[in-house]
């Protein structure tokens, strides 16, 4: 091999060695840059150095969500039920003034609710019933809306519901929720502000009135001329004993009665929290609220399926 050839070979090897050395230096610089911590800018607070663990962190448990409460079916009455004594009673559907509303069905009983006889009103076209009252000595009153214009008028029977007649002046002596303004009660011909913005039902009692609202039950004392709340639970229906003013109501409480309604009785003197809960009454889901009535320890419940009665203040019930 000539000296010229040997010199050329040495130059080529040196060049290759330099390229390899530069490549290794570049790789080392890159690795060092990746492993070196980032220097914060001036005035910037350095962040925490992250740490790592080989342990697996447990998955976060979902936060339990409280079930959404179903609104209680609190509304105006779809039916009325009232007894004057343990034998004589009246019941009625409500009807309505709309073109598609069915006329109310009014029935009376003289055997404690075992049998019911429908009543007719002659030429009077009753379209809606707003309330029923007993005035004593066989006298029954119905607050109605009549005729094409749904005019407000009263019908009276002096024969426990067998015969009826229109008594124009009688309306001024009755009590009912104003059909135009539910915040007002017509109390024996005088407008009386109700205890809530929308009174669902009102009853006469020996010493005043009882009103049912979405906010609960209220009593009006004539002597003090004021309303007093005595139960703040929403009630789907209520009834008042015309002899002593005791109250019976149905509480729509799913947590207390599965598939039924709780009957609550308030004996005189009625005070807040004095209601006594009785056994639950079964009721088909989605059906109309039960209508209630009482005379002493005798109670009645008109469900969509039957009329039930209790002889012991609601402790036990039987079908009629």
Give the domain range for residue 237: 79-319
The DSSP symbol for 95 reads B
Does a structural domain hold residue 36? Answer: no
The tally of domains found in the chain comes to 1
SS3 for 202? Answer: strand
Nearest residue to 150 (alpha-carbon basis) of 201, 77, 188, 94: 94
What's the rounded Cα separation, in Å, for the pair 253 and 233? 9
Tell me whether residue 157 is in a domain.
yes
Asked if the structure places residue 41 within a domain, the reply is no
Give the CATH number for residue 223.
2.120.10.30
Three-state SS at 32? helix
Q: Lay out the sheet containing 165-166: strands in order across.
A: 126-136, 139-146, 151-157, 165-166
Residue 182 lies in a domain: yes
DSSP three-state, residue 291: strand
Whether residue 254 contacts residue 70, with contact meaning beta carbons closer than 8 Å, is answered with yes
Please report the pLDDT score of residue 15 as a whole number: 57
What are the structure tokens assigned to 209, written together? 């009135």
Mean pLDDT of successive 10-residue stretches along the chain, which has 320 residues = 51 57 52 44 42 36 36 70 96 95 96 96 95 91 96 95 92 95 96 97 93 96 94 93 94 74 91 90 76 96 92 94
Task: Please give the torsion angle defined by the CA atoms of residues 109, 113, 118 and 122, in that order, rounded to the nearest 10 degrees.
Answer: 30
**What is the distance between the alpha carbons of residues 255 and 84, in angstroms, rounded to a whole number?**
34
Please report whether residue 3 resides in a domain. no
Q: Tell me what pLDDT residue 60 has.
A: 38
Tell if the pTM clears 0.95, that is, is over it: no
What is the structure's pLDDT at 280? 87
Rounded-to-integer distance, Cα 291 and Cα 212, Å: 13
Would you give the end-to-end CA distance of the chain in angstroms?
Answer: 132
Beta strand 307-310 with 298-302 is antiparallel
What pLDDT sits at residue 42?
Answer: 43
Contact 238, 212 (CB under 8 A): yes
The pLDDT assigned to 24 comes to 55
* Residue 35 placed within a domain: no
Residue 61 belongs to some domain of the structure:
no
| Alpha-carbon span 68 to 70, nearest angstrom | 6
DSSP track, 122-173: TT--EEEEEEEEEEETTEEEEEEEETTTTEEEEEEESSTTSS-EE-GGGGGG
pLDDT of 221: 93
CA-to-CA distance for 136 and 100, rounded, in angstroms?
Answer: 36
- Does some domain include residue 65? no
Among residues 201, 235, 239, 185, the alpha carbon closest in space to that of 215 is found at: 235
């Amino acid at each position: 091999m000539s000296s010229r050839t040997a010199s050329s070979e040495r130059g080529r090897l040196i060049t290759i060695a330099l390229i390899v050395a530069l490549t290794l230096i570049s790789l080392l610089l890159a690795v060092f840059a990746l492993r070196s911590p980032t220097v914060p800018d001036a005035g910037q607070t350095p962040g925490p150095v992250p740490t790592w663990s080989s342990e697996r962190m447990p998955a976060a448990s979902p936060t339990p969500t409280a079930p959404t409460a179903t609104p209680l079916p609190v509304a105006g009455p779809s039916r009325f039920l009232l007894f004057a004594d343990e034998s004589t009673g009246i019941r009625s559907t409500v009807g309505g003034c709309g073109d598609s509303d069915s006329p109310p069905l009014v029935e009376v009983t003289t055997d404690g609710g075992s049998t019911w006889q429908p009543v007719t009103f002659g030429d009077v076209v009753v379209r809606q019933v707003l309330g029923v009252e007993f005035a004593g000595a066989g006298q029954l009153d119905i607050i109605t809306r009549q005729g094409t214009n749904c005019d407000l008028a009263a019908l009276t029977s002096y024969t426990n519901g067998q015969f009826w007649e229109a008594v124009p002046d009688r309306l001024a002596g009755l009590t009912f929720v104003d059909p135009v303004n539910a915040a007002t009660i017509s109390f024996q011909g005088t407008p009386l502000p109700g205890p809530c913005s929308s009174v669902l039902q009102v009853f006469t009692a020996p010493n005043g009135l009882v009103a049912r609202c979405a906010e609960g039950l209220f009593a009006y004392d004539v002597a003090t001329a004021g309303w007093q709340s005595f139960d703040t639970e929403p009630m789907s229906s209520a009834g008042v004993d015309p002899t002593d003013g005791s109250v019976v109501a149905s509480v729509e409480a799913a947590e207390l009665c599965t598939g039924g309604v709780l009957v609550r009785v308030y004996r005189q003197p009625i005070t807040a929290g004095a209601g006594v809960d009785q056994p639950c009454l079964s009721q088909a889901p989605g059906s109309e609220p039960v209508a209630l009535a009482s005379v002493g320890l005798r109670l009645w419940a008109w469900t969509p399926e039957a009329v039930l009665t209790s002889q012991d203040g609601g402790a036990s019930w039987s079908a009629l």
